[in-house]
Amino acid sequence: MTAVTAPALRVIEAGDECRLERLFYRLSPESVYRRFFTLYTSPPPGALHALADLDHDSRDAVVATVGDEIVGVARYATVAPGVAEVAVVVEDAWQGHGLGRRLLECVAALARVRGVTAFCATLLAENRPAVAMLRAVFPHGVFTSNGTEYEWRAALPAAPSERKTA
């Protein structure tokens, strides 16, 4: 049996645009639809640049890499003071192995350092894996249904240095 190396996590870099493109083409149509709510067959013009060129303050992302390839991304974008929208996508071959959860926890810690105190997201109600992941990482998060989509919001846990010790 061949040992599989766990993906490494790091902050996204402007030079990751080509890696994001390769990731896009490895995603199934279902994964693309669940992430973008439409069936893109190719990335929209300018989208890859916008996804890779972040200010690392109000907009940032963490990528999971195996070798030179990105296999997952979690990102946030501030939408109001202290509140950021979060999104996660994981290559199909890596789904179901806890990578999305690792990425979400890492991007939450990064956002917390940048002053974000709550995450929000819109997700398809049928996206049960994403709902389960959000419930696992943020058990006190609130889901509001409009039928086909959920609006979700959760407070970010305090950084370890901010937690009171008993």
Q: Mind listing the pLDDT tens digit for each residue in 30-54?
A: 999 999 888 888 888 888 888 888 9
CATH number reported for the structural domain that contains residue 53 in this entry: 3.40.630.30
Helix (H) or strand (E) holding 88: strand 83-90
> What residue type is assigned to position 32 of the chain?
V
pTM for the whole thing? 0.89
Of residues 110, 152, 157, the one with CA closest to residue 130: 152
Tell me, what's the pLDDT at 153? 98
- 139 inside domain: yes
Average pLDDT over residues 94-103: 95
164 pLDDT tier (thresholds 50, 70, 90): low
Query: Is 78 inside any structural domain?
Result: yes
* pLDDT tens-digit series, residues 115-147: 999 999 999 999 999 999 999 999 999 999 998
